[in-house]
Structure 1
Amino acid sequence: MKRTIRTTALTVGALVGALGLQAGPAQADTTAPRIDLRVLVVSDGGPATDAIAAELAAAGTPYTEIDLTNSDRPTIDAAFLADTVDGRPRARFQAVVLPDDNPFATGSAEMAALSAYEQTYAVPQVDAYTYARPQAGLQVPSSGGYSGSIDGVRAQVTAAGKAGPFGYLDGAVPFEDNSPTAGESYAYLSSPAPGADFTPYVQAPIPGTTTQGSLIGEYRHEGRRELVVTFVYNQYQQQFRLLARGIVEWMTGGVHLGASRNYFAVHVDDVFAADDRWDTRLDCTPGDVDCAGAAGTPSPIRMTPADVDYATAWQDSHDFTLDLVYNGSGSVDQREDNDGVDLLADKLIADRDRFRWVNHTYTHAFLGCEQNVTVVPWTCQTNADGSTKWVDRATIDHEIATNRAWGQAAGLPLQTDELVTGEHSGLRILPQQPQDNPYLAPALADDGVKWLASDNSRDPAQRRVGPATTVSRYPMNVFYNAGHATEQVDEYNWLYTSRAQGGSGICEDNPATTTCLPAPLDTATGYGDYIVPLETRTALGHVLSNDPKPHFIHQSNLAEDRLAYPVLSGVLDGYDALFADNTPVVNLRMKDIGTELQRRAAWKSALTAGQVTAYRIGDTVAVQAPDGTAVTATLPGGTTLGGNAFGSAYAGEVSGWTVSDGNALTYTLPSATTAPAAGPRAKAAATAPAPRTEVPAGVSEQVPFTPDH
């Protein structure tokens, strides 16, 4: 349910008096304040303020950071916080984030300036992590509360939280407990102080009592509003990821630049082909370039028609669509070996409209350098002059065009400008191939490819390759060469245990990037007990991080033991248990993901260059951005732009992209929408956009980024 916040309006005369301005002729709304859509983050270098800053950055919400540990930082005073633009009072920041309820010295002039600013302009304050005490509206823990670890605690959103900023959650907020030997979450749980105007939004049981203690709540006092958070967190912990949206929506009143959604897409590579199988005797995969094959090696793994039925039923039960990334030659080879029969292809083609389809090249050929596989690891072959011997343009073109033609003949509903090369080949691969195949870009141009998949573990940043833009994909640690759980665990043990434990030792040779298992997993239980929960948590972390990048698995993971489904179901079922129906997982195809990432990069660039001005006056929001820039914003439901409904609904609000024509974009908020209220506030009709006034020198202008973690 969309929240409304009750407030009281300040008359223009009262505002003028509060600001100490010269009173002029009585004119309705002419001096109502302009509130810039920017957040002030005052940081002490701790994880809590860093986490909120990261949330703003990922969403594309502008903020200014003041580092309290920097002796050269600007002073936070009245002049820093507010000024006048074209005769109109201007608040430079729509919200303030502090490390705690008062990070300054007792009697600090800076805290006094912030308090007066918040009172005058009804600007809310977030206490990112503070001790429960009367100054924050709570009793001290010694008065019947609790301070200590809350690892594994299942907190709950209160009725007020659901009706307010956390209405996108179903109610439960589980706190992580990933390690029995390490403390992960410390909190203060207590009740509101006697007489305090304090409303808990998220709370958990106080140990040893039947009383609930607040973890997040709103404290109203002295004409100010504070969101009081009493547990410590970092930006990657699930509990913060669940609550981050609500923190931002509370402090911005649901009116801000930037947007955040929860994305999940899964690419299934090698469809129609067969994947080689891990050999538990050789500890490698016969058929792979790094494995010397032997007679009697295991049979390859290939889906069956029954696996297709299972996939479609699973999709229907989860309201989700898989992207099938196909190699047409796999079916051609199957028919040649089976008197023209390929039951799998017949079934997939009959059910083709149940999936999305992506070209994966015809034979899954390696399209980078020509490989020398007589050595381990493989190397690039060279010409007589020592230069790299590359797979030529004609071969790359043949792989792309032939597979496309095969798919079109089969009636697959393709987007012909999408491509995933075999092993992401053609793109640089360190250390053997430090540059792209120079023939890749021309071949992509030949075939009209605009979106090219890359491996996020090797090539995470979106970049151009000729006419194409890359879309990084997260590899799931469900191995392509395992059809059975015992094979997956055997290979996992080989990769992630030391030599002394019978493993490869890769983990001990690369401690900065790989952690060794303390002991080999049980091949009978290790997959379900260890690997599935770990991979589920990792993937769900991406989903909750406003990260649209797709994940990829292989067709073998949908065959035999169908190893992918426990992880995929874990992500989606776990998500559904946490979020309300108004906040569904967004399941985009590859080109739409690429477009989203591309727009974010352009938006970040515009913010970095200081080319965006945005502010609110009353029920109107104005945004000025360069011609052709896609502007992103999150606003209350019912907002209009140019007389038309703006955005699409998500998490109780509306958000979306609008391409600027160089003129100001003017959004009209629904008349019932009010600014965050605590003390006085002025309300006015919109005026023409005022010139942008730069943030004072010495302030760190932070802009969006998408962390890879």
Structure 2
Amino acid sequence: MKRSIRTALSAIGALIVSLGLPAGTAHADDVAPRIDLRVLVVSDGGPATQAIAAELQSDGTPFTEVDLTQSGRPTIDAAFLSDTVDGRPRARFQAVVLPNDNPFASGSAEMTALATYEQTYSIPQVDAYTYARPEAGLSYPTSGYSGSLDGVTASVTAAGKSGPFGYLDGNVPFEDNSTSVAESYGYLSTPAAGADFTTYVDAPIPGGSGRGSLVGEYKHDGRRELVVTFVYNQYQEQFRLLSRGIVEWMTGGVHLGASRNYFAVHVDDVFLSDDRWNSQLNCTPGDIDCTTSGGTESTVRMTADDADYAVAWEQRQNFTLDLAFNGGGSVDEREDNDGTDQLADKLIADKNQFRWINHTYTHPFLGCVQNTTVVPWVCQTTASGATQWVSQSDINGEIANNKAWAQTNGLTLDSSELVTGEHSGLKVLPQQTVDNPNLAPALAANGVTWLASDNSRESTQRSAGSALTVPRYPMNVYYNAGRQADEVDEYNWIYTSRAQGGSGLCEDNPATTTCLSAPLSTSTGYSDYIVPLETRIDLGHVLSNDPRPHYIHQSNLAEDRIAYPVLDGVLDGYAALFADDTPVVNLRMKDIGVELQRRAAWQSAVAAGQVTAYRIGDTVTVQAPSGLAVTATAPSGTTQGTGSFGSAYAGAVSGWTTPSAGTLTLALPSSTASVTAVQPASTAAAKAAARKTAPRTRVPAGTTRKVAYSPHR
């Protein structure tokens, strides 16, 4: 027995020398290596490695990128990959992402170093997009398929569901947004003879009776590879569906950062009436930019029946709407109807079915004083040329009066949240290049710390005095439309050419992604085109770990109730893709603001090198600046001190926590696989892994850029 221990120690000692580690740091009985919680992404500039890097960035997972196309890049050798800290062997990276199974020249010392490193520390490798070949555990695709996967529906196998892709229900649809652009390409093949290969995602082989692997795990030579044989970019739905599983596989479910699927919907102008689109004038009478004579104002306002429908819809979808309300609208309605407002009575009776947000009392413009004698409007100026601003007193009144109305009617508000009319008060380009200087003190005086902004104008969170903005996605369901025909007519006007009777917006802005080649039918265009297109756009946000809310208007819940088909499309489409343990996360505005704030601080600290995290056995240690909220994902059963860590999502636990004194310690469940000691590596096997470079793979034009969504897959 003593002799076998000496032999093992001798082999490990020789390995340590080959890795450049100080001799005597590894002991067969008690040394578990330190594995830093950081991913190495070796990129070739292609879309697949860029997509994985983007996913890690979005999640808040630290990574180091080495671009093989750049001169002066670091050499990937033993010293780059590992060293010793406090007498303990350290693996600098918990996972390796390569463009393919071997992107280096045949016999490369860098590939040998990577293979040795992976063997030694049990580090997994992701082949982001590789050719199907025996070196990757697969048969050549000559007996399978090589070609376009546009519009294909792949499936998660039983092994995938019990493994890294268990958060999915089963189907993985591939996009097909354009019939004129190739958007995906892949190799469908079966495991090579004798290979220890487990398929996680597969698809039927065209012209055959079998199925071929698209994502699978290949075990060989003491190494594990996730072999992906199709190309993708960070925006495509197929990647968005699989990206979580790729990250969880490569990290063993233990990593900094987290990802969830968010969807929140704000309904603006509740209790007000919204002006209606005029199809003859191609504008909205009552709007300041609709100055054509002959237009008769017409409005759209919810009814009590619409309120009942909203409650029933919420209960059916198990989803809560956020109602951004203007109490002055109800006051006006009662004045015009002998004290009666059936809509307000009904919504107030069902007030606990919704979340309520202050949208100001009467919805005025709170920026500069508008000069509407010209189109487009401009800011009114004094004789000396100074901009005239809506006063702090007026802004205070709009906020406070709406709060008072809510209190009188028993609505529960969070006073820290505010949506101003048209997001006014914030800068509006090109007319108003700065925020109203009276806005910030009014916000502070009323305790507002979260202020809605328009994501199409400002997509990042920023300060407005002591408040932070919460960017919101505008949905292409218009405020001035309660009927499908009005929505389609306005959509046609905006997105068709002048020759077709449209605005010419797309001619002036060719980058616009929702342009039409011909006008839509006003009777079928909404259900056949606008609904599926808007559904896909909004679902894309949900699948992108993006907590920003979407917003519509009360008019969209009235008359034809045109918002619901889109909302149903998102929620029903999501439910068909994801398992029950991965629900849509429906946060209120304040919580979304906090999430965005934490992410910004976390990303800044990670980028500045202020966060260190590592795993030794079943213990994870994170060191960060004091007061910084830390985000992490871990297996179920992970504990923090004497309590549990995080909350359950997608078969794991994740969340934010602010550690005391800047140090967080997590105890992983004992069932979690871990490296208990440095493993002896086979030099011959490592060299064999580097023997043959991977063949070039095909990357279609539609994968190198984002192809605009279409109504159909």
Normalised-by-shorter TM-score class? over 0.9
Rounded Cα–Cα distance in structure 2 between residues aligned with 1:518 and 1:169 = 36
Rounded Cα–Cα distance in structure 1 between residues aligned with 2:679 and 2:134 = 24
* Structure 1 residue 564 displacement after superposition: 0.5
Rounded Cα–Cα distance in structure 2 between residues aligned with 1:359 and 1:22 = 64
Rounded Cα–Cα distance in structure 1 between residues aligned with 2:448 and 2:475 = 25
* Structure 1 residue 141 displacement after superposition: 1.1
1:415 is paired with a residue whose SS is coil
2:416 is paired with a residue whose SS is strand
- Contact (CA 8 Å) 1:496, 1:516: kept in 2 or not? yes
What do the CA deviations read for 1:132-186 (whole angstroms, capped 9, x no partner)?
A: 11111111111x2001111111110000000100000011111111222221111
1:198 aligns with 2:205: no
When normalised by structure 1's length, the TM-score is 0.93
Residues 298 and 635 (structure 1), Cα distance of their counterparts in 2 relative to 1, 3 Å cut: same
1:251 aligns with 2:265: no
Rounded Cα–Cα distance in structure 2 between residues aligned with 1:15 and 1:25 = 10
1:18 aligns with 2:28: no
Determine the structure 1 residue equivalent to 2:261. Answer: 262
* Structure 1 residue 228 displacement after superposition: 0.5
Rounded Cα–Cα distance in structure 2 between residues aligned with 1:295 and 1:667 = 70
Higher deviation after alignment, 310-319 or 545-554:
310-319
Residues 293 and 25 (structure 1), Cα distance of their counterparts in 2 relative to 1, 3 Å cut: closer
2:468 is paired with a residue whose SS is strand
Residues 607 and 537 (structure 1), Cα distance of their counterparts in 2 relative to 1, 3 Å cut: same
When normalised by structure 2's length, the TM-score is 0.92
* Structure 1 residue 502 displacement after superposition: 0.7
* Structure 1 residue 25 displacement after superposition: 10
Residues 251 and 601 (structure 1), Cα distance of their counterparts in 2 relative to 1, 3 Å cut: same
What do the CA deviations read for 1:453-510 (whole angstroms, capped 9, x no partner)?
A: 0000011111111121100000000011011111111001100011011111122112
Amino acid at match of 1:73: R
Residues 589 and 227 (structure 1), Cα distance of their counterparts in 2 relative to 1, 3 Å cut: same
Rounded Cα–Cα distance in structure 2 between residues aligned with 1:515 and 1:115 = 47
Amino acid at match of 2:560: D
Determine the structure 1 residue equivalent to 2:667. Answer: 668
Amino acid at match of 2:590: K
1:508 is paired with a residue whose SS is helix
1:622 is paired with a residue whose SS is strand
Determine the structure 2 residue equivalent to 1:689. Answer: none
The within-5 A match list for 1:37-52 is 37-52=37-52
Amino acid at match of 1:165: P
Determine the structure 1 residue equivalent to 2:64. Answer: 64
Determine the structure 2 residue equivalent to 1:395. Answer: 394
Determine the structure 2 residue equivalent to 1:103. Answer: 103
* Structure 1 residue 22 displacement after superposition: 7.0
Rounded Cα–Cα distance in structure 2 between residues aligned with 1:602 and 1:16 = 43
1:347 is paired with a residue whose SS is helix
Residues 374 and 274 (structure 1), Cα distance of their counterparts in 2 relative to 1, 3 Å cut: same
Rounded Cα–Cα distance in structure 2 between residues aligned with 1:681 and 1:379 = 73
Amino acid at match of 1:608: A
Rounded Cα–Cα distance in structure 2 between residues aligned with 1:494 and 1:390 = 33
> How high is the sequence identity, in percent, across the aligned residues?
73
Determine the structure 1 residue equivalent to 2:656. Answer: 657
Determine the structure 2 residue equivalent to 1:494. Answer: 493
Rounded Cα–Cα distance in structure 2 between residues aligned with 1:216 and 1:127 = 10
* Structure 1 residue 298 displacement after superposition: 4.8
Determine the structure 1 residue equivalent to 2:635. Answer: 636
The within-5 A match list for 1:136-215 is 136-142=136-142, 144-215=143-214
Amino acid at match of 2:115: S
Determine the structure 1 residue equivalent to 2:702. Answer: none
Rounded Cα–Cα distance in structure 1 between residues aligned with 2:198 and 2:115 = 20
* Structure 1 residue 108 displacement after superposition: 0.5
Determine the structure 2 residue equivalent to 1:344. Answer: 343
- Contact (CA 8 Å) 1:81, 1:91: kept in 2 or not? yes
- Contact (CA 8 Å) 2:31, 2:676: kept in 1 or not? no
- Contact (CA 8 Å) 2:160, 2:200: kept in 1 or not? yes
* Structure 1 residue 299 displacement after superposition: 2.1
The within-5 A match list for 1:162-561 is 162-292=161-291, 294=293, 297-513=296-512, 516-561=515-560
Residues 361 and 482 (structure 1), Cα distance of their counterparts in 2 relative to 1, 3 Å cut: same
- Contact (CA 8 Å) 1:223, 1:679: kept in 2 or not? no
1:170 is paired with a residue whose SS is coil
* Structure 1 residue 515 displacement after superposition: 5.0
What do the CA deviations read for 1:37-59 (whole angstroms, capped 9, x no partner)?
A: 00000001100000000000000
Determine the structure 1 residue equivalent to 2:613. Answer: 614
What is the Cα-based RMSD across aligned positions, in Å? 1.9
* Structure 1 residue 271 displacement after superposition: 0.2
Amino acid at match of 1:451: W
Rounded Cα–Cα distance in structure 2 between residues aligned with 1:368 and 1:606 = 35
What do the CA deviations read for 1:338-385 (whole angstroms, capped 9, x no partner)?
A: 000000000000000000000000010000001111111111110111
Rounded Cα–Cα distance in structure 1 between residues aligned with 2:302 and 2:57 = 42
Rounded Cα–Cα distance in structure 2 between residues aligned with 1:496 and 1:274 = 26
* Structure 1 residue 28 displacement after superposition: 7.2
Determine the structure 2 residue equivalent to 1:131. Answer: 131
- Contact (CA 8 Å) 2:55, 2:234: kept in 1 or not? yes
1:482 is paired with a residue whose SS is coil
1:320 is paired with a residue whose SS is coil
- Contact (CA 8 Å) 1:12, 1:31: kept in 2 or not? no
1:483 is paired with a residue whose SS is coil
Residues 102 and 561 (structure 1), Cα distance of their counterparts in 2 relative to 1, 3 Å cut: same
Residues 678 and 139 (structure 1), Cα distance of their counterparts in 2 relative to 1, 3 Å cut: farther
2:275 is paired with a residue whose SS is coil
Amino acid at match of 1:667: L
What do the CA deviations read for 1:182-218 (whole angstroms, capped 9, x no partner)?
A: 2111110010111111100000000011101000000
Residues 12 and 241 (structure 1), Cα distance of their counterparts in 2 relative to 1, 3 Å cut: farther
Amino acid at match of 1:60: G
1:481 is paired with a residue whose SS is coil
Determine the structure 2 residue equivalent to 1:697. Answer: none
Residues 617 and 678 (structure 1), Cα distance of their counterparts in 2 relative to 1, 3 Å cut: closer
Amino acid at match of 1:337: D
Higher deviation after alignment, 671-680 or 239-248:
671-680
Rounded Cα–Cα distance in structure 2 between residues aligned with 1:284 and 1:25 = 76
Rounded Cα–Cα distance in structure 2 between residues aligned with 1:680 and 1:355 = 57
What do the CA deviations read for 1:92-131 (whole angstroms, capped 9, x no partner)?
A: 0000000011111111100000000000000000000011
Amino acid at match of 1:245: R
1:92 aligns with 2:114: no
- Contact (CA 8 Å) 2:327, 2:362: kept in 1 or not? yes
Count of aligned residue pairs for this structure pair? 674
- Contact (CA 8 Å) 1:91, 1:121: kept in 2 or not? yes
Rounded Cα–Cα distance in structure 2 between residues aligned with 1:89 and 1:400 = 60
Higher deviation after alignment, 575-584 or 663-672:
663-672
Amino acid at match of 2:639: T
What do the CA deviations read for 1:608-652 (whole angstroms, capped 9, x no partner)?
A: 111111000000000000110000000000000112111000000
Rounded Cα–Cα distance in structure 2 between residues aligned with 1:458 and 1:493 = 23
Rounded Cα–Cα distance in structure 2 between residues aligned with 1:681 and 1:509 = 64
What do the CA deviations read for 1:303-333 (whole angstroms, capped 9, x no partner)?
A: 0111111111111111100000000111000
* Structure 1 residue 666 displacement after superposition: 0.9
1:155 is paired with a residue whose SS is strand
Determine the structure 2 residue equivalent to 1:686. Answer: none
Rounded Cα–Cα distance in structure 2 between residues aligned with 1:502 and 1:69 = 49
Amino acid at match of 1:113: A
Amino acid at match of 1:59: D
- Contact (CA 8 Å) 2:32, 2:676: kept in 1 or not? no
Higher deviation after alignment, 72-81 or 604-613:
604-613
Rounded Cα–Cα distance in structure 2 between residues aligned with 1:661 and 1:679 = 32
Rounded Cα–Cα distance in structure 2 between residues aligned with 1:12 and 1:421 = 70
Rounded Cα–Cα distance in structure 1 between residues aligned with 2:314 and 2:188 = 42
